[in-house]
Amino acid sequence: MNGEVYYPQQKEIFYSNGLYNKSIPPFDDGYSFLCNSRTELECFSRMLFASSGDKLAEMQKISPSTAIFLYCTTTQKLHGIFVASAQANINIDSSAFGGRFPAQIRVKEQIRMKPLPEKICYKIFRGDRNRNGHLSNFVTGRSSETAKAHRG
């Protein structure tokens, strides 16, 4: 990919309430990152999400059609939807997060939504407390639809 991101042709989307929106691209899968109140601001200011080094291979499967979310464990709110602006790599910014999270990916905001509170996240994730890593198509679909409904 050479750092370039190609987005699939956008599809027409019809919501269950009959509304139409073609500005939201389809997502093939999803990925969720974790942060806390100390790292949340850094994630947003750098537009860089990160994880431990052992997650790099999984993160490198993130494609331009992957919906990316950020879950803050302190506030218990889900942010999104983001998409990759470059491929994941080791230490894209070695000074980020005090060097503790070397597997990193640059993101850009695709859909701005109001942060979703824990009670909604619980329903989306079906009670699964592990919110770091690849999301099933079911969870991605539920997360995307909920995000669209809560656009900021």
The 10s digit of each residue's pLDDT in 26-78 is 787 888 899 999 999 999 999 999 999 999 998 999 998 888 989 888 888 88
Q: Which amino acid is at 44?
A: F
Reported residue count of the chain is: 152
Nearby residues of 1 by Cβ (< 8 Å), 6 or more positions away: 87
- For residue 80, the 8-state DSSP code is E
Q: Which residues pair with 78 in a beta bridge?
A: 71, 116
**Nearest 5 degrees, angle CA 62-CA 63-CA 64?**
135
Q: What is the mean pLDDT of residues 112-116?
A: 79
Q: Which of helix, strand or coil describes residue 45?
A: helix
Q: Looking at residue 84, what is its pLDDT?
A: 95
The 10s digit of each residue's pLDDT in 117-137 is 777 776 666 655 555 555 555
Quote the tokens at residue 50. 């990160």
